[in-house]
Structure 1
Amino acid sequence: MDSSPEQPTRLGAFLRDRRTRLDPAALGLGGRRRTRGLRREEVAQRAHISTTWYTWLEQGRGGAPSPRVLDSLADALLMTEAEREHLFLVGIGRPPKARVAQRESISWRLQRLLDAMPLIPATIATSTWDIIGWNRAARLALTDYEALAPDDRNILRRMFLDPSTRAAQADWEAVARFLVATFRAETARIGDDDHARQLVAELSARSVDFVRLWTEQNVQSSGEGAKTIRHARMGEMTFEFSSFAIDGRPDLKLMVYNPATERDIDKMRQLCAESDSIGLPVGAGDLPVTEQRPTT
């Protein structure tokens, strides 16, 4: 942490400002008030720390608080994720571990964004590679996620436990290693999570290949690159994929698969036309990959 005197002053000012913004009545705290917001002792009680220690923090005394104390203060002061991150930055000079939002759906605005790309497959994936959002193009070119049960939409589970998914990969080893490396990196960033632990335990118990790759300790970002699939109707289709972080949802990433050539765009148009004529999706099935080339 920066030991300059400015740092604790910024922390104290931020804590004091957020304390005075809270409505005591809304939190069930009665009594006549001469000043706005909560009292220091009320914040300390909600954060399970001593009033003296909290007072010192507002006054810029007593040294740097621990991450646990900052988390408690963020909860006590009903901070948003952006405010929590700022609290850590001014308090100890680094951001907190991201929290997983306990939601298995995406906002209607994100869905509208996906739907605005009729010829570009796009999905929303969690840090554990659960697909929780997709557009029509993804159903046509990749996998009909809508037809699958939620547990079956996990890419790691399908890659290691489903024989047909494995058989569809021209280079299963490269794809599996990529998925495990990104899984390790992203779950470490998120922090301790029950779902991630349970998934690791399940895959470890049922797949010796997962155990082998998991013990390699490789880490990688989703990044960008090229992906070629063997589609059941269109044959080979190549996409340039890019991964984007979603503000306010550190546990999610937007994966966009842009058709690489005019020929691939034509195949997407043909898929859409065929789907319109028969009213059914024509999925390739679990992203069979013949090439994966991350760019630098």
Structure 2
Amino acid sequence: MTTVAPESDVRRHELAAFLRSRRERITPEQAGLPRGSRRRTPGLRREEVAQLASVGVTWYTWLEQARDIKVSPQVLDAIARTLLLDRSERTHLFSLSGAVDPTPGSTCPTVSPALAAMIEQLDPLPSCIQNSRYDILAYNRTYGQLFCDLDAVAPEDRNCMLLSYTNEDWRSSLVDLHEVHRLMAAKFRASMAEHLAEPAWKVLLKRLEAASPEFRELWARHEVVGPSARTKHFHNRHVGSLRVNHTDLWLGPSSGPRMVTYIPVDAESRDRLERLYRLAPATV
């Protein structure tokens, strides 16, 4: 009779082997350490990784020995930085650990070159790629000027929830601001139901609560609204009033990433979007 190891055991051994292989390829010089004359271990020693990542030596040793121990996302983040993991390796580390990356990169594997080219081809129709947390992962030229100068916003702050509550240009573009905010808070609560324990979601929620009394008041209502296509009214600072139909193209499960596109409902809005496209700076 053949015995199959539990998936958790397989993951721990894969994680242990992955960590050892990454540790052994990092030179002391790369980590900012002196090489010394009696070094026999290829790459870094376990105690050096533990010291640089600010974790216990015994704990890190157990991790490389595939022991059944709990690993926090914050510790994984420190280890990823110490081992100089690139984006793919970092994703692999968190996947093997069964954890969610608390500080994902500004780009996302969801945004393939084909998708990026597609939203560019949609200009002058404003279009972007968002995840379920409302992070803006990619956007075209017209979308970049629809609410604010999005290129001037730090990548980690390109989040529709955060911008609509804290960015004055974005806020001024929203007609009937309070109703928009009510719906956004309700949609965010509905989306967060599947991600309550994930660090990135909790960090965003804390930022919103700390930055906006209005968000705190709306969040306390516990209203929930699902995604839906609606006609929206914006006031762009460059071209004036715009009426558009909001459409979502889901790129996976309905709670996952999506392509958001705004279609003008009348000739005047279309003309103004074309003007906005001409006014927007060309991407490099």
1:199–1:48 Cα change, 3 Å: closer
Q: How far apart in 2 are the matches of 1:230 and 1:183? A: 20
Q: Secondary structure at the match of 1:229?
A: strand
Q: CA deviation at 1:133?
A: 7.0
Q: How far apart in 2 are the matches of 1:52 and 1:132? A: 39
Q: How far apart in 1 are the matches of 2:132 and 2:47? A: 38
**Aligned amino acid, residue 221 of structure 2:** E
- TM-score in terms of structure 2 length: 0.61
User: For residue 46 of structure 1, what is the aligned residue in structure 2?
Assistant: 52
User: For residue 23 of structure 2, what is the aligned residue in structure 1?
Assistant: 19
User: For residue 121 of structure 2, what is the aligned residue in structure 1?
Assistant: 116
Q: How far apart in 2 are the matches of 1:69 and 1:231? A: 43
Residue 219 of structure 2, aligned match among 208, 214, 217: 214
Residue 55 of structure 1, aligned match among 49, 61, 84: 61
**Aligned amino acid, residue 83 of structure 2:** L
User: For residue 3 of structure 2, what is the aligned residue in structure 1?
Assistant: none
1:256–1:165 Cα change, 3 Å: closer
User: For residue 238 of structure 1, what is the aligned residue in structure 2?
Assistant: 245
User: For residue 271 of structure 2, what is the aligned residue in structure 1?
Assistant: 270
Q: Secondary structure at the match of 2:221?
A: coil
- TM-score in terms of structure 1 length: 0.59
**Aligned amino acid, residue 16 of structure 2:** G
CA offsets 1:80-106 (integer angstroms, 9 cap, x no match): 344334334333xx2324315589xxx
Q: Secondary structure at the match of 1:119?
A: coil
Q: How far apart in 1 are the matches of 2:151 and 2:77? A: 37
Q: CA deviation at 1:23?
A: 1.9
Q: How far apart in 2 are the matches of 1:146 and 1:5? A: 48
User: For residue 231 of structure 2, what is the aligned residue in structure 1?
Assistant: 228
Residue 209 of structure 2, aligned match among 200, 204, 226: 200
1:268–1:23 Cα change, 3 Å: farther
Q: CA deviation at 1:257?
A: 1.3
Residue 80 of structure 2, aligned match among 55, 74, 84: 74
CA offsets 1:152-194 (integer angstroms, 9 cap, x no match): x9223579x9688454x7xx64x4333113445569641453x
Q: How far apart in 2 are the matches of 1:148 and 1:89? A: 31
Verify the 8 A CA contact 2:128 2:260 in the aligned structure 1. Answer: yes
1:13–1:133 Cα change, 3 Å: closer
1:145–1:133 Cα change, 3 Å: farther
Verify the 8 A CA contact 1:24 1:38 in the aligned structure 2. Answer: yes
Q: How far apart in 2 are the matches of 1:148 and 1:41? A: 42
Verify the 8 A CA contact 1:130 1:155 in the aligned structure 2. Answer: no
Gaps (5+ residues) in structure 2? 1-5
User: For residue 284 of structure 1, what is the aligned residue in structure 2?
Assistant: none
1:267–1:56 Cα change, 3 Å: same
User: For residue 291 of structure 1, what is the aligned residue in structure 2?
Assistant: none
Q: How far apart in 1 are the matches of 2:133 and 2:10? A: 39
**Aligned amino acid, residue 73 of structure 1:** I
Verify the 8 A CA contact 1:228 1:236 in the aligned structure 2. Answer: yes
Q: How far apart in 2 are the matches of 1:8 and 1:124? A: 34
Q: How far apart in 1 are the matches of 2:60 and 2:82? A: 12
Verify the 8 A CA contact 2:247 2:262 in the aligned structure 1. Answer: yes
Q: Secondary structure at the match of 1:226?
A: coil
1:29–1:126 Cα change, 3 Å: farther
Gaps (5+ residues) in structure 1? 246-252, 282-296
Q: CA deviation at 1:17?
A: 1.0
Q: How far apart in 2 are the matches of 1:139 and 1:55? A: 47
Q: CA deviation at 1:16?
A: 0.8
CA offsets 1:197-249 (integer angstroms, 9 cap, x no match): 35423422xx3xx444201345677x5x422134778875434234669xxxx
Verify the 8 A CA contact 1:122 1:254 in the aligned structure 2. Answer: no
1:244–1:196 Cα change, 3 Å: farther
Q: How far apart in 1 are the matches of 2:56 and 2:274? A: 66
- Length, aligned pairs only: 247
Q: Secondary structure at the match of 1:53?
A: helix
Q: How far apart in 1 are the matches of 2:8 and 2:211? A: 48
